Chain A
């Protein structure tokens, strides 16, 4: 009744399976395996181009930052310095700065003053050793300056690629956006391996040696604050800032995520972030939210303050304010 199938496995074939292996089938199988093996080798050939030291056993066995002993960390940081020296010709001082007691950092930005000159975005690159092709390539900067039409704060119609002869333009205003160091940070919540977390002083950091590069945090961040190393970072010897730290601006490996840390290698050392220092209009205010007398608390208590995307519930530690 059923049409006879054009059978793949006829009873005769099955018969052979029960018989001991004949010399002929053995040779056939061996030949097929050889061809397969040759194909596999050819397919994997690009792996030969892997730089030596790109992946070491030490890397593979390294534990999460928060589980490292002080000695391990010291050894690892020395290794990072060695590697940077070997590859870039500059020996950095890689430090590990811990959060300070009684400190929670906050940042405020004066939208009335900002003129959209993008000096902060460039200073960020210089400070944080991001990958870049040339001095004009600010794609990896942690700061994106938005040009907005006056009359509303409408991100939908914003422009980051604005390039007029002179800023500010009359009918525009400017809004730099960087990591908001959210109190309820979606990025740390979604990371499957806890490679990114909030420190005691509120800074959201990434362990570049632990991140698996799944980019779930990038999808989760409502502020487009995270960057991914799609390639091995490109940076010239002259451009390297040798004052580095493990959790912030050391040269990143390929395939991991990075982000603004409020320059923790500076701010945990009593200095201001690089973007603040370079701002020509003094639009940026940085300080300790736990210190009632800090300038940042003065702003929060006395100015009209705007929180970006408040409806998402991230509770940023970054605020915008207006003069008039």
Chain B
């Protein structure tokens, strides 16, 4: 117990130690977080009228970001599976960073849902035993369970491994291996359940489509690893923790496969919608070509598709065997899928409305600032976790500094 308090104390101390660059980066993020918080406080007082949402388009940028990020969080399994199931040694050195990323991203997801609520002051109504939980009827109730569960599982695994490493002890398998396997299943579940949020709505034909969950999964397994590839390079460049090229290129392979599947499914979707367009194709028509003179999403989706294609070509070609080419592919895929899974999936669900009205949606400045604040908060959390985790991982922060770090 005393050891643990010392541990926390040292972590706290370490959080405040760092180079000028570290301070500058964290300060910038903090300022962005505060700006976002300010925008949210405004929204809390004035109501959701400060957003671009309407009765017709009743979900917007918040839910779009939420949906996208659930995918990114789930993609931590792309490290866990090779590391633990295929026992790829080189993945073990990075798997923890993937789990930490999942933690930060899930927290962002929960924040995005919270800022979307009209009555955040009543959030306890969602949490048993204080509230009335609509289980198993409401998929949103399922989502509350699976998201928080995923957060807890990853928190447990990551903190257990880190604490063992800090004490220079071999982690006891039975305390974490079962959770690792649970986390694999669970990652798929957060994804699927989130897709079911939309697929379950029979009144919205754009969402009521069995391909949605599979496309969801495929695109997430591109966007998540893309972010990790970029993050790993930052880690190896700025810290004393060497990550080899091997894990990065393993991720490249996984991304390529996932991207091919994603694009194939996209093709299937486009064929179904446009080869013989029914009334149900109106939303897709709005998204890709505009409807009744409204075409707000058209530039977005074509940007996304262009980026996706660039990403796929780069990934599949030798160009991405070079780190620079791979990075370009990652950025293209990440942004492309962010648009496609966010604005491209959520907004057309509401346009046209079930009664045929076309009302367009664009996020307002206030809404954008709230989103920015949450992204900054995620980055802040992840940076902080890395700042603390890396010295533990490489043995320089340990329970008994007088012993040499190599005893493990």
| B18–A194 touching, CB < 8 Å | no
| A14–B397 touching, CB < 8 Å | yes
A9-B138 contact, Cβ under 8 Å, with A186-B201, A255-B118: no
Of the candidates A50, A67, A192, the one whose C-beta lies within 8 Å of that of B141 is: A192
Which of B86-94, B147-155, B305-313, B354-362 interfaces with chain A? B354-362
Residue A189 interfacial (CB < 8 Å): yes
A168 vs chain B, min Cβ distance (A): 19
| A190–B38 touching, CB < 8 Å | no
Q: In the complex, what residue of chain A is closest to B10 when comparing beta carbons?
A: A17
| B118–A212 touching, CB < 8 Å | yes
Give bound CA distance, A146 to B355, whole Å: 8
| B45–A49 touching, CB < 8 Å | yes
* Chain A residue contacts of B355, Cβ below 8 A: 144, 146, 155, 158, 160, 177, 223-224
A42-B349 contact, Cβ under 8 Å, with A17-B397, A146-B355, A227-B55: no
Residue B2 interfacial (CB < 8 Å): no
Of the candidates A2, A17, A29, A144, the one whose C-beta lies within 8 Å of that of B242 is: A2
| A45–B38 touching, CB < 8 Å | yes
* Chain B residue contacts of A64, Cβ below 8 A: 132
| B35–A43 touching, CB < 8 Å | yes
| A44–B37 touching, CB < 8 Å | yes
* Chain A residue contacts of B54, Cβ below 8 A: 230
Give bound CA distance, A89 to B380, whole Å: 49
A11-B117 contact, Cβ under 8 Å, with A45-B38, A46-B45, A312-B202: no
* Chain B residue contacts of A156, Cβ below 8 A: 279, 282, 352, 356
* Chain A residue contacts of B42, Cβ below 8 A: 46
Of the candidates B21, B55, B119, B397, the one whose C-beta lies within 8 Å of that of A256 is: B119
- Give how many B residues have a beta carbon under 8 Å from the other chain's beta carbons: 81
A222-B131 contact, Cβ under 8 Å, with A17-B17, A50-B45, A155-B356: no
A225-266 residues at the B interface, CB under 8 angstroms: 226-232, 253-257
A274-309 residues at the B interface, CB under 8 angstroms: 309
Residue A154 interfacial (CB < 8 Å): yes
* Chain A residue contacts of B200, Cβ below 8 A: 190
Give bound CA distance, A156 to B352, whole Å: 8
Residue A34 interfacial (CB < 8 Å): no
| A9–B118 touching, CB < 8 Å | no
A38 vs chain B, min Cβ distance (A): 10
* Chain A residue contacts of B31, Cβ below 8 A: 39
A26-65 residues at the B interface, CB under 8 angstroms: 28-29, 32, 36, 39-40, 42-47, 49-50, 55, 59-60, 64
| B19–A192 touching, CB < 8 Å | no
Residue B237 interfacial (CB < 8 Å): yes
Which of B120-128, B186-194, B316-324 interfaces with chain A? B120-128
Of the listed residues A2, A64, A219, the one surrounded by the most CB atoms of chain B closer than 10 A to its CB is: A219
Residue A25 interfacial (CB < 8 Å): yes
B293 vs chain A, min Cβ distance (A): 13
Of the listed residues B132, B390, B391, the one surrounded by the most CB atoms of chain A closer than 10 A to its CB is: B132
Q: Mark A204-225, 1 if CB is under 8 A from B, else 0.
A: 0000001111111011111110
| A218–B13 touching, CB < 8 Å | no
A210-B239 contact, Cβ under 8 Å, with A13-B17, A220-B201: no
5 contacts between A and B (CB under 8 A): A5-B240, A14-B391, A219-B350, A230-B49, A253-B119
Residues of A within 8 A of B (CB): 2, 5-9, 11, 13-14, 16-18, 21, 25, 28-29, 32, 36, 39-40, 42-47, 49-50, 55, 59-60, 64, 67, 139-140, 144, 146, 154-158, 160, 177, 186, 189-195, 210-216, 218-224, 226-232, 253-257, 309, 312-314
Those 4 A-B pairs whose CB atoms lie nearest each other, nearest first:
A213-B118, A222-B203, A255-B118, A192-B140
Q: 19 additional contacts, CB 8 Å, given A186-B202, A194-B134?
A: A5-B237, A6-B238, A8-B21, A9-B391, A17-B14, A40-B37, A44-B37, A45-B41, A46-B38, A156-B279, A160-B355, A194-B132, A211-B118, A212-B120, A219-B350, A224-B354, A230-B49, A230-B54, A314-B203
Residues of B within 8 A of A (CB): 10, 13-14, 16-19, 21-22, 30-31, 34-35, 37-38, 41-42, 44-49, 51, 53-56, 58-59, 113, 116-126, 131-134, 137-141, 144, 197-198, 200-204, 236-240, 242, 279, 282, 349-350, 352-357, 387, 390-391, 396-397, 401
